[in-house]
């Protein structure tokens, strides 16, 4: 690696951004006060030994896998959905959610076998396919990049598979969860490439995790 600074990737915008920055600040790597955090794509740390890379959430593992970033915080659901060669080194106590299958309130679907032959709208096709294979269910997948909750009301799908946090969005669209495929939270990941400063930051991350769990 030719870079003299560690590079840390975090979400450009979204619910994990500020919590990720706070986590790194808590272990001694904070943004320079001169940084305009609303516009910066690359920003320096106060300590000068690291820089932050602000990217789309779904792209974070790719930056880490390629070695463009040394560490990152990303939702575990992103790792479950993709096939990435990164090392997960810590699970963090924020960003909790679950990937779930939901159906209309009046739906007769109550078991995995009831999904056989049905249409399921999702933004997580890989995770859904794994679930359906495991349950030996043959269903039609309809891939939608966002707002999958509206699909049943439009008679586009019989069920949806999407991330659920509070459940408020499901309730607003007259849907209810029938299966949880997996639970997810924010995780710290590390690239497979070597950098002479990585050991110290990895140790700080693991120490912070151990202290917080023991508190």
List domains and CATH numbers for the chain. 6-95+185-214 (3.40.190.10), 97-183 (3.40.190.10)
**Contacts for 171 with CB less than 8 Å, ≥ 6 apart:** none
Q: Confidence class of residue 194 from pLDDT cuts 50, 70 and 90?
A: confident
Q: Are 10 and 73 in contact (CB under 8 A)?
A: yes
pLDDT surpasses 60 at 1 = no
pLDDT surpasses 90 at 40 = no
- Average pLDDT, stretch 119-130? 97
Q: What is the pLDDT of residue 49?
A: 80
**Residues linked to residue 143 through DSSP beta bridges, in sequence order:** 122
Q: Are 99 and 161 in contact (CB under 8 A)?
A: yes
pLDDT surpasses 80 at 23 = yes
Closest by CA position to 11, among listed 73, 61, 95:
73
Look up residue 199 and give its two tokens.
């050991």
Q: How confident is the model over 157-170, as pLDDT tens digits? A: 999 999 999 999 99
Q: What is the pTM of this model?
A: 0.89
Q: Are 56 and 157 in contact (CB under 8 A)?
A: no
pLDDT surpasses 60 at 115 = yes
Sign of CA dihedral 10, 14, 19, 25: positive
**Residues linked to residue 74 through DSSP beta bridges, in sequence order:** 187
- Average pLDDT, stretch 10-19? 93
Element (H, E) at 61: helix 60-65
Cα–Cα distance measured from residue 65 to residue 190, given in angstroms and rounded to the nearest whole number: 8
Q: Are 100 and 181 in contact (CB under 8 A)?
A: yes
pLDDT surpasses 80 at 71 = yes
Residue with tokens 């700080």: 204
């Amino acid at each position: 690696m030719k870079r003299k600074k560690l590079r840390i990737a975090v979400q450009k915008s979204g619910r994990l951004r500020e919590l990720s920055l706070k986590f790194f600040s808590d272990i001694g790597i904070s943004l320079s006060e001169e940084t305009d955090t609303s516009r910066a794509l690359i920003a320096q740390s106060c300590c000068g030994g690291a820089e932050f890379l602000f990217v789309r959430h779904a792209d974070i593992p790719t930056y880490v896998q390629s070695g463009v970033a040394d560490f990152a915080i990303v939702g575990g659901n992103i790792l479950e959905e993709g096939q990435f060669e990164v090392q997960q080194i810590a699970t963090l106590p924020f960003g909790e959610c679950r990937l779930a299958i939901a159906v209309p309130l009046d739906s007769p679907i109550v078991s995995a076998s009831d999904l056989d032959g049905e249409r399921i709208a999702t933004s997580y096709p890989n995770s859904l396919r794994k679930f359906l294979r495991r349950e030996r269910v043959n269903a039609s997948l309809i891939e939608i990049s966002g707002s999958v909750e509206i699909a049943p009301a439009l008679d586009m799908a019989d069920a949806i598979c999407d991330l659920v946090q509070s459940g408020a969005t499901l309730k607003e669209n007259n849907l209810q969860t029938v299966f949880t495929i997996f639970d997810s939270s924010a995780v710290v990941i590390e690239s497979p490439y070597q950098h002479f400063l990585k050991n110290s930051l990895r140790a700080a991350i693991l120490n912070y995790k151990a202290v917080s769990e023991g508190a």
